[in-house]
Amino acid sequence: MFSIKTIESIAKIGGRTVYDLILQSETKEVENYCILVHKTPLAIGKTWAGSKTKLEWEEENGLTHLLG
């Protein structure tokens, strides 16, 4: 199960914000994603409170893996 570790704004595109999102599991496994939304980091944190599997995060929130 993964929960949000950090959220950082990295760019603005057409009224939306690109965020770097880091999810961390209970076993300290880390996954990095980028998201493009209208929400603030505080709103994202409230909306996505709790833990989910990686697949649930990806499907439910339309996450895109950060390649690099």
pLDDT of residue 67 exceeding 50: no
pLDDT digits 0-9 by tens, 48-58: 778 888 777 77
Bridge partners, residue 25, by sequence: 2
Q: How many domains does the chain have?
A: 1
* Nearest CA among 22, 20, 24, 21 for reference residue 2: 24
| Domain assignment of residue 39, given as a range | 2-65
pLDDT digits 0-9 by tens, 2-34: 888 888 999 998 888 888 888 898 888 898 888
For the entire predicted model, the pTM comes to: 0.67
